[in-house]
Amino acid sequence: MSSPILKDRKILLAVTGGIAAYKSLEVVRRLRSEDASVTVLMTEASTRFVTPLTFESLSGNRVYTDVFSSPLVHISLPEEAHAFLIAPATANTIGKIASGIADDMVTLSLLAFRGPVLYAPAMNQRMYEHPLVRRNMNTLGEMGYEEIPPEEGGLACGGYGVGRMASAERIIEALKGRLCRKDMAGLKVLVTAGPTREYIDPVRFISNRSSGKMGHALCRVAMRRGADVTLVSGPTAEGPPHGVRLLRVETAEEMLEAVRRHAAEVQLLVMAAAVADFVPESRSSTKVDKGGGLTLRLRPSADIIKTVSAMKRRPFVIGFSAETGPEIDRAGEKLRQKGMDFIVFNDVTFNGAGFDSDMNRISIIDSGGVTDYPLMSKEECAEVIFDRYLERRGGVGG
């Protein structure tokens, strides 16, 4: 998902000789879609797995494999780059770097680079666990080089275990985390996301169209900026952001309980979940028969934000107001009634934004007035929401 962090950043991507080299094509594609500029360096061995032509076509830049046919590129490219990413990183290249060897385009360029270095090991599990590889990786850690750990799963050699290169998504997330400012370090943040389900009987429920994407984007951005994040999430198709503490809930009642339990421990609560406004007055313990139709009586659900706002030791509270039209006055009313610190208004009927979309168009309303923002990715929205919070910090619970 697009965010401004990688825009116009120059990334050196070093590809070494493992089967996972083909997965780095996806890394290049994603970097390009984030408007980063990517230059690929390849070891001789890696060109046996994927051709430089493929990386050249995808990156739109020349690929460098041989130090002697491109003299001094190993000095000029690292000088301009913002990050050095090695993916996949073979046991061989990790060992060479740990010993200071510089006999190819990758290892040589690395020595000329000053800045964040990340590497994604990929190898058979026994190799990954070998004491020599561990020792070499410790040396890289002491240099401040960040490992993007491999995942568990089926390995190309036919075995199963830890050794599979991290997904392109995790690699990009790690890179963003490294290049992003850490102005939320030390902050504890609680985010709610997704819809709730209010059961009519054991198989049927009332829910809403929330995808959880805005809440998950808030978590990713807060994590990157250094916060300690707990996510209370209703049922969504979104994978939980890496490193977040996840509490899964289903009903509005469960969400209220989870938020109440954790709200006093955090400095900031962001209520991005679409909590049911109405819940069935009663829930049948058996499946309701179709014959004869069904009349439902609904009652208003417990108001989570109001409950938290009334707490003695309460966090800074940011609410969301999703409306079907430019009903910004209603959002302003909610802000006053519920005692939030500010509210994020969005019109879910706006073309290209809202439910299930990666984009949103928000307005932030607080006691000082309304600030409108253009259509942005949900990660960009999360960035401005946290910027605004940091500006306001020092207020209630701050």
CB-based contact 240:231 (threshold 8 Å): yes
Q: Which is nearer to ligand FMN, 159 or 325 (CB)?
A: 159
Q: Which is nearer to ligand FMN, 166 or 317 (CB)?
A: 166
Residues 6+ apart with CB under 8 A from 37: 8, 9, 10, 11, 61
User: Does 92 engage in binding with ligand FMN (CB under 6 A)?
Assistant: yes
Residue whose token pair is 């997965």: 23
User: Does 251 engage in binding with ligand FMN (CB under 6 A)?
Assistant: no
Q: Which is nearer to ligand FMN, 108 or 384 (CB)?
A: 108
User: Does 43 engage in binding with ligand FMN (CB under 6 A)?
Assistant: yes
User: Does 19 engage in binding with ligand FMN (CB under 6 A)?
Assistant: yes
Task: Choose, by CB under 6 A, the member of 2, 45, 125, 375 that binds ligand FMN.
Answer: 45
Residue 66 amino acid letter: D
CA distance linking residue 159 with residue 154, whole number of Å? 6
Task: Choose, by CB under 6 A, the member of 1, 41, 87, 91 that binds ligand FMN.
Answer: 91
147-166 residues near ligand FMN, rule: CB under 6 A: none
User: Does 14 engage in binding with ligand FMN (CB under 6 A)?
Assistant: no
CB-based contact 344:372 (threshold 8 Å): no
Q: Does 157 participate in catalysis according to the annotation?
A: yes
- Considering only the stretches 17-25, 66-74, 205-213, 333-341, report the one whose residues sit in contact with ligand FMN under the rule CB under 6 A: 17-25
| Direct distance between the N- and C-terminal alpha carbons of the chain, in angstroms, rounded to an integer | 30
Taking each helix axis as running N to C, give the angle between helix 213-224 and helix 378-392, from 0 to 180 degrees, rounded to the nearest 10: 60
Instruction: Burial-class residue 56 by CB neighbours within 10 Å (0-12, 13-18, 19+).
Output: middle
Q: C-beta of 65: minimal distance to ligand FMN in Å?
A: 11
Q: What are phi and psi of 226, to 5 degrees?
A: 105, 0
Q: Which residues of 356-391 are buried (b: 16+ CB within 10 A; e: fewer)?
A: ebbbbbbbbbbeeeeeebeebbbbbbbbbbbebbee
User: Does 24 engage in binding with ligand FMN (CB under 6 A)?
Assistant: no
User: Does 122 engage in binding with ligand FMN (CB under 6 A)?
Assistant: yes
User: Does 101 engage in binding with ligand FMN (CB under 6 A)?
Assistant: no
Task: Choose, by CB under 6 A, the member of 3, 11, 12, 18 that binds ligand FMN.
Answer: 18
User: Does 230 engage in binding with ligand FMN (CB under 6 A)?
Assistant: no
Question: Which residues are designated catalytic?
Answer: 157
Residues near ligand FMN, by CB under 6 A = 16-20, 43, 45-46, 90-93, 122-123
